[in-house]
A and B are shown apart, each in its own frame.
Chain A
Amino acid sequence: MLKDTLHQDVISVSGIDIEVRTYGSGAPLFLLAGEEQLEVDSPFVAELAKNHKVIMPSPPGFGVSGRPDWLTSPDDLAYIMLDLVEKFDLNNVPVVGCSLGGWIAAEMATKDDSRFSRLALVDAYGVKIGGPFDVDIQDLWVQHPAKVAAMKWRDVEKSKRDYASMTDAQLSVIARNTESFARFCWEPYMHNPKLKHRLHRVSTPTLVIWGENDGVASATYGKAYAGLIEGAKFTTIPEAGHYPQIEQPEAVLKALRAFLA
Chain B
Amino acid sequence: MYAWHFTEMPYPNLPPLDTLSTMRVSIPSKLFDPKIGAELYNRYLDEHMLADEVGLNMLLNEHHQTATCINACAPLTAAILARQTSKGRICILGNPIANRQDPIRIAEEMAMIDCISRGRLDVGFVRGVPYEVFAANSNPTQTVERLWEGIDLVSKAWTHTEGPFNFEGRFTHKRAINLWPRPYQTPHPAIWITGSSDRANIKRAAGRGFVFATFLQPHEKVKWMFDAYRSAYNDQGLPGGGGTAYMPLVYTADSDAEAEAGARELCWYLDAKSEPQYRNPPGYVPVEFNVQALKGAFTGRTDAMRKQSIEFLKDQGVLIYGKPDDVAKQIKRLYDLVGGFDHLLMMQQAGHMSSERTKRSITLFAKDVYPQIKDLARTRPLNARVAAE
**Is A182's CB within 8 Å of the partner chain B?**
yes
**Is B175's CB within 8 Å of the partner chain A?**
no
Contact B290 A179 (CB under 8 A): yes
Give the residues in chain A near B139, CB-CB below 8 Å: 182-183, 186-187
What's the minimum C-beta distance from A137 to chain B, rounded to whole angstroms? 15
Contact A163 B282 (CB under 8 A): no
What's the minimum C-beta distance from A136 to chain B, rounded to whole angstroms? 16
Given A172-B287, A187-B139, A178-B276 contact (CB < 8 Å):
no
Give the residues in chain B near A175, CB-CB below 8 Å: 287, 290-291, 293-294
User: Bound state CA distance, A245 and B282, in angstroms?
Assistant: 25
**Is A142's CB within 8 Å of the partner chain B?**
yes
**Is B30's CB within 8 Å of the partner chain A?**
no
**Is B134's CB within 8 Å of the partner chain A?**
yes
Contact A171 B291 (CB under 8 A): yes
**Is A160's CB within 8 Å of the partner chain B?**
no
What's the minimum C-beta distance from A18 to chain B, rounded to whole angstroms? 18
Contact B281 A176 (CB under 8 A): no
Contact A142 B25 (CB under 8 A): yes
Contact A182 B281 (CB under 8 A): yes
Contact A182 B140 (CB under 8 A): yes
**Is B385's CB within 8 Å of the partner chain A?**
no
What's the minimum C-beta distance from B49 to chain A, rounded to whole angstroms? 38
**Is A125's CB within 8 Å of the partner chain B?**
no
| Residues 43-73 (chain B) with a chain A CB within 8 angstroms | none
User: Bound state CA distance, A164 and B25, in angstroms?
Assistant: 31
Query: Could you say which of A141, A164, A186 contacts B277, with CB atoms under 8 Å apart?
Result: A141
Query: Could you say which of B25, B134, B282 contacts A182, with CB atoms under 8 Å apart?
Result: B282
Query: Could you say which of B25, B141, B145, B275 contacts A179, with CB atoms under 8 Å apart?
Result: B141
User: Bound state CA distance, A145 and B294, in angstroms?
Assistant: 13
Main secondary structure of the interface of A (DSSP, over half): helix
| Residues 143-159 (chain B) with a chain A CB within 8 angstroms | 145
Residue of A nearest to B275 (CB): A144
**Is A4's CB within 8 Å of the partner chain B?**
no
User: Bound state CA distance, A13 and B326, in angstroms?
Assistant: 66
Contact A178 B290 (CB under 8 A): yes
**Is A89's CB within 8 Å of the partner chain B?**
no
**Is A181's CB within 8 Å of the partner chain B?**
yes
**Is B137's CB within 8 Å of the partner chain A?**
yes
**Is B255's CB within 8 Å of the partner chain A?**
no
What's the minimum C-beta distance from A165 to chain B, rounded to whole angstroms? 11
What's the minimum C-beta distance from B20 to chain A, rounded to whole angstroms? 13
Query: Could you say which of A143, A171, A183 contacts B141, with CB atoms under 8 Å apart?
Result: A183
**Is A69's CB within 8 Å of the partner chain B?**
yes
**Is B84's CB within 8 Å of the partner chain A?**
no
**Is A134's CB within 8 Å of the partner chain B?**
no
User: Bound state CA distance, A187 and B141, in angstroms?
Assistant: 12
**Is A129's CB within 8 Å of the partner chain B?**
no
**Is B283's CB within 8 Å of the partner chain A?**
yes
Residue of B nearest to A147 (CB): B277
Give the residues in chain B near A174, CB-CB below 8 Å: 294
User: Bound state CA distance, A179 and B170, in angstroms?
Assistant: 19
User: Bound state CA distance, A166 and B294, in angstroms?
Assistant: 10
What's the minimum C-beta distance from B141 to chain A, rounded to whole angstroms? 4
| Residues 177-220 (chain A) with a chain B CB within 8 angstroms | 178-183, 186-187
Digitize A135-165: 1 where CB-to-B-CB distance is under 8 Å, 0 elsewhere. Answer: 0000001111100100000000000000110
**Is B26's CB within 8 Å of the partner chain A?**
yes
What's the minimum C-beta distance from A250 to chain B, rounded to whole angstroms? 30
User: Bound state CA distance, A141 and B282, in angstroms?
Assistant: 8
User: Bound state CA distance, A45 and B291, in angstroms?
Assistant: 27
User: Bound state CA distance, A20 and B134, in angstroms?
Assistant: 34
Contact B281 A163 (CB under 8 A): no
User: Bound state CA distance, A222 and B294, in angstroms?
Assistant: 32
Give the residues in chain B near A178, CB-CB below 8 Å: 282-283, 290
**Is B295's CB within 8 Å of the partner chain A?**
yes
Residue of B nearest to A183 (CB): B141
Given A141-B277, A145-B276, A183-B287 contact (CB < 8 Å):
no
User: Bound state CA distance, A142 and B131, in angstroms?
Assistant: 9
Given A142-B25, A164-B295, A179-B134 contact (CB < 8 Å):
no
| Residues 119-140 (chain B) with a chain A CB within 8 angstroms | 134, 137, 139-140
Contact B282 A181 (CB under 8 A): yes
27 CB-based A-B contacts, threshold 8 Å: A69-B170, A141-B134, A143-B277, A145-B276, A145-B277, A148-B277, A163-B294, A164-B295, A166-B294, A168-B291, A172-B287, A172-B291, A175-B287, A175-B290, A175-B293, A178-B282, A178-B290, A179-B282, A180-B283, A181-B282, A182-B141, A182-B281, A183-B139, A186-B137, A186-B139, A186-B141, A187-B139
Known: A69-B170, A182-B140, A186-B141. 6 other contacts (CB 8 A): A178-B283, A179-B141, A179-B282, A179-B283, A182-B282, A183-B142
- Interface positions of A (Cβ within 8 A of B): 69, 141-145, 148, 163-164, 166, 168, 171-172, 174-176, 178-183, 186-187
Give 7 closest A-B pairs by Cβ, nearest first. A179-B283, A175-B290, A182-B282, A183-B141, A186-B139, A171-B291, A175-B287
